[in-house]
Amino acid sequence: MANVFDEGKAILAEIEAASPATPEEVEQFRIRFLGSKNIVKPLMGKMRDIPGDQKKDFGLLIKEIKGAAEAKYEAAKVQAEAAAEEAAAANLDLTAPGEPIEVGARHPVSITMNRIIRIFERIGFTVAEEREVEDDWHNFTAMNTPEDHPARDMQDTYYLQDSTAMLLRTHTSSVQARVMTNTQPPIRIIAPGRVYRNETISARSHCQFHQVEGLYIDKGVSFADLKQTLYHFAREMFGPGIEIRLRPSYFPFTEPSAEMDVYLGTDTERTKRLTKGTGWLEILGCGMVDPNVLANCDIDPEIYTGFAFGMGIERTALQNFDIGDIRLLFENDIRFLKQFTAAI
Check binding of 38 to ligand PHE (CB under 6 A).
Answer: no
Among 139, 173, 174, 316, the residue binding ligand PHE under the rule CB under 6 A is: 173
User: In the bound complex, what is the minimum distance in angstroms from residue 282's beta carbon to ligand PHE?
Assistant: 11
Q: Between residues 151 and 242, which has the closer beta carbon with respect to ligand PHE?
A: 151
Q: Between residues 20 and 285, which has the closer beta carbon with respect to ligand PHE?
A: 285
CB 267 within 8 A of CB 231: no
Report 105-164 residues binding ligand PHE (CB under 6 A): none
User: In the bound complex, what is the minimum distance in angstroms from residue 214's beta carbon to ligand PHE?
Assistant: 8
Stretch that binds ligand PHE, among 120-128, 186-194, 198-206, 304-312 (CB under 6 A): 304-312
Residue type, 98: G
User: In the bound complex, what is the minimum distance in angstroms from residue 211's beta carbon to ligand PHE?
Assistant: 6
Q: Between residues 108 and 287, which has the closer beta carbon with respect to ligand PHE?
A: 287
Count of C-beta atoms within a 10 Å radius of residue 98: 5
Which backbone phi and psi does 102 adopt, to 5 degrees?
A: -70, 130
Check binding of 171 to ligand PHE (CB under 6 A).
Answer: yes
Check binding of 310 to ligand PHE (CB under 6 A).
Answer: yes
Q: Between residues 193 and 285, which has the closer beta carbon with respect to ligand PHE?
A: 285
Question: Cα–Cα distance between 146 and 160 in angstroms, integer?
Answer: 18
Q: Between residues 240 and 248, which has the closer beta carbon with respect to ligand PHE?
A: 248
Among 213, 261, 290, 314, the residue binding ligand PHE under the rule CB under 6 A is: 213
| Cα distances (angstroms) measured from residue 1 to each of 8, 49, 51, 132 | 12, 8, 8, 84
DSSP state of 125: -
Chain center to CA of 42: 61
SS3 299: coil
| Cα distances (angstroms) measured from residue 192 to each of 27, 32, 172, 340 | 62, 69, 7, 21
Q: Between residues 286 and 297, which has the closer beta carbon with respect to ligand PHE?
A: 286
C-alpha neighbours within 13 Å on the C-beta side of residue 25 = 15
User: In the bound complex, what is the minimum distance in angstroms from residue 286's beta carbon to ligand PHE?
Assistant: 5
| Cα distances (angstroms) measured from residue 337 to each of 13, 203, 313, 340 | 65, 17, 17, 6
Question: Cα–Cα distance between 123 and 231 in angstroms, integer?
Answer: 13
Check binding of 254 to ligand PHE (CB under 6 A).
Answer: yes
Q: Between residues 108 and 312, which has the closer beta carbon with respect to ligand PHE?
A: 312
Burial of 66: CB neighbours in 10 Å, binned 0-12, 13-18, 19+: middle
Check binding of 178 to ligand PHE (CB under 6 A).
Answer: no
Stretch that binds ligand PHE, among 96-104, 116-124, 185-193, 280-288 (CB under 6 A): 280-288
Check binding of 168 to ligand PHE (CB under 6 A).
Answer: no
CB 263 within 8 A of CB 280: yes
Q: Between residues 286 and 329, which has the closer beta carbon with respect to ligand PHE?
A: 286
**By beta-carbon distance, which residue lies closest to ligand PHE?**
310
Residue 270: in which H helix or E strand, if any? helix 269-274
Among 8, 285, 317, 326, the residue binding ligand PHE under the rule CB under 6 A is: 285
* Binding footprint of ligand PHE on the chain (CB under 6 A): 171, 173, 213, 251, 254, 285-287, 308-310
